[in-house]
């Protein structure tokens, strides 16, 4: 049996978060521990500063 991948490519995920931030001042990033949530937030914060 073949499983579908649940991994979302990082560029697509970053773009999705950017769009959400353009619509709302706060965006919640949820996920299991050690999956890169803080890394994504830091990358986006660096872009905006």
In the chain, where the domains are located: 11-48
CA gap 2, 20 in Å, rounded: 32
Residue 6: predicted pLDDT = 61
Residue 41: predicted pLDDT = 92
Residue 49: predicted pLDDT = 85
Residue 3: predicted pLDDT = 54
pLDDT tens-place values along the chain, 49 residues long: 455 556 678 888 999 999 999 999 999 999 999 998 999 999 999 988 8
Global pTM reads: 0.73
């Amino acid at each position: 049996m073949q499983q579908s991948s649940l991994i979302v490519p990082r560029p697509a995920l970053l773009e999705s978060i950017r769009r959400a931030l353009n619509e709302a001042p706060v965006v919640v990033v949820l996920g299991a521990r050690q999956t890169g949530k803080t890394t994504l937030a830091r990358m986006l914060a660096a872009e905006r500063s």
